[in-house]
Amino acid sequence: MGVGGISIWQLLIVLVIVLLLFGTKKLRNMGGDLGGAIKGFRSSMKEVKGGDSDSDSEDPETADQQAEASQDDLADVEATEDVKTEKV
C-alpha cells in the first residue's frame, strides 16, 4: 500500500493518463504558471510582513516615465511584428 491506500502503480497509471490528455508542453506551462503564482504570493507576504510599500514612496513622475517607456516599447514591438508580416 502506498499513500492513503493508493499504490505506486495506480499513481503511475494516473500520471500516464494525465500526460496523454494534456501533453508535456501544456503541463510544463501550467507548472511554470503555478510556480510564478507561488513566487508572487510569497513576495507579497514578505512585503506585508515587512511593512514596506514601494508604491507609496515612489515618485509619481517616475511612474509616469516608466509607463511612457513601456508604451514606447509596446509600439516598437508592434511595428516589428508588422514588418515581419509584410516580409512573409
Provide the domain count of the chain. 1
Tell me, yes or no, whether 28 lies in a domain: yes
The confidence score (pLDDT) of residue 87 equals 47
Tell me, yes or no, whether 5 lies in a domain: no
The confidence score (pLDDT) of residue 34 equals 93
Q: How much of the chain, in percent, has pLDDT values that exceed 90?
A: 31
The CA distance from 72 to 70, in Å, is 5
pLDDT at 52 over 80: no
Tell me, yes or no, whether 68 lies in a domain: no
Range from 14-18, 24-28, 56-60 that averages highest in pLDDT: 14-18
The confidence score (pLDDT) of residue 84 equals 47
Cα angle: 44, vertex 63, 66; to 5 degrees? 100
Give all strands (DSSP E) within the chain, no chain letters.
none
Q: What is the pLDDT of residues 24-44, one digit of tens each?
A: 888 889 999 999 999 999 999
- Structural domain range at position 38: 23-49
* Its pTM surpasses 0.85: no
